[in-house]
């Protein structure tokens, strides 16, 4: 949350709803009053060329707060520790085995392509492991 000065220097507060139900408050400041503010050095409002300066603060909805609470949980942290391994395998399937582009149309065809691509990748991985064991 932004720390706004105690002084009442903002000109107006606009309450807006953006895309995907994001609600935010926009504080609009006079450029003249902004120059005289004692907290100018630590301020994040900016030094634009417009007549007024503004700062927006996103208001978290209940859905966002629920997601933030979930991200603070121990379960989420444990899942994030193994995510890079899963993403690595997905990247390999896309880059090396052509899963980036669908061969044919339709969800069923895409599922088949995914299963066959995964099967081929696993067979290659198994064959490399067996070669290492036999040597």
Q: Does residue 4 lie within any of the structural domains?
A: no
Dihedral of the CA atoms 121, 126, 127, 130 (nearest 10)?
160
Can you give the pLDDT at residue 2?
46
Q: Does residue 19 lie within any of the structural domains?
A: yes
Arithmetic mean of pLDDT, 67-95? 91
For the ranges 21-25, 40-44, 115-119, the maximum mean pLDDT occurs at: 115-119
Q: Does residue 68 lie within any of the structural domains?
A: no
Q: Does residue 78 lie within any of the structural domains?
A: no
pTM: 0.47
Q: How confident is the model at residue 22 (pLDDT cuts 50, 70, 90)?
A: low
Residue 106 pLDDT greater than 60, yes or no: yes
Same domain, 17 and 55: yes
Q: Does residue 84 lie within any of the structural domains?
A: no
- Distance, CA of 131 to CA of 30 (rounded, Å): 72
- Distance, CA of 130 to CA of 135 (rounded, Å): 9
Residue 3 pLDDT greater than 60, yes or no: no
Q: Does residue 120 lie within any of the structural domains?
A: yes
Q: Does residue 83 lie within any of the structural domains?
A: no
Identify the domain containing residue 42 by its residue range.
10-60
Q: Does residue 69 lie within any of the structural domains?
A: no
Number of domains in the chain: 2
Can you give the pLDDT at residue 114?
92
Can you give the pLDDT at residue 122?
94
Residue 45 pLDDT greater than 70, yes or no: no
Residues 6 or more apart whose CB falls under 8 angstroms from that of 11 comprise 28, 29, 30, 33, 52
Same domain, 14 and 55: yes
- With 0-12 / 13-18 / 19 or more C-beta atoms within 10 angstroms meaning exposed / middle / buried, residue 13 is exposed
């Amino acid at each position: 949350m932004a720390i706004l000065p105690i002084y009442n220097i903002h000109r107006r507060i606009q309450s807006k709803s953006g895309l995907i139900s994001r609600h935010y408050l926009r504080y609009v400041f006079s450029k003249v009053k902004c120059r005289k503010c004692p907290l100018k050095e630590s301020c994040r409002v900016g030094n634009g060329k417009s007549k007024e300066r503004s700062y927006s603060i996103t208001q978290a909805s209940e859905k966002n707060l629920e997601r933030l609470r979930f991200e603070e949980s121990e379960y989420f942290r444990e899942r994030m520790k193994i995510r890079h391994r899963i993403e690595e395998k997905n990247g390999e399937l896309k880059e090396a085995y052509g899963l980036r582009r669908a061969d044919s149309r339709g969800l069923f065809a895409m599922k088949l392509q995914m299963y066959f691509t995964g099967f081929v990748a696993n067979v290659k991985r198994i064959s490399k492991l067996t070669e290492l064991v036999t040597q």
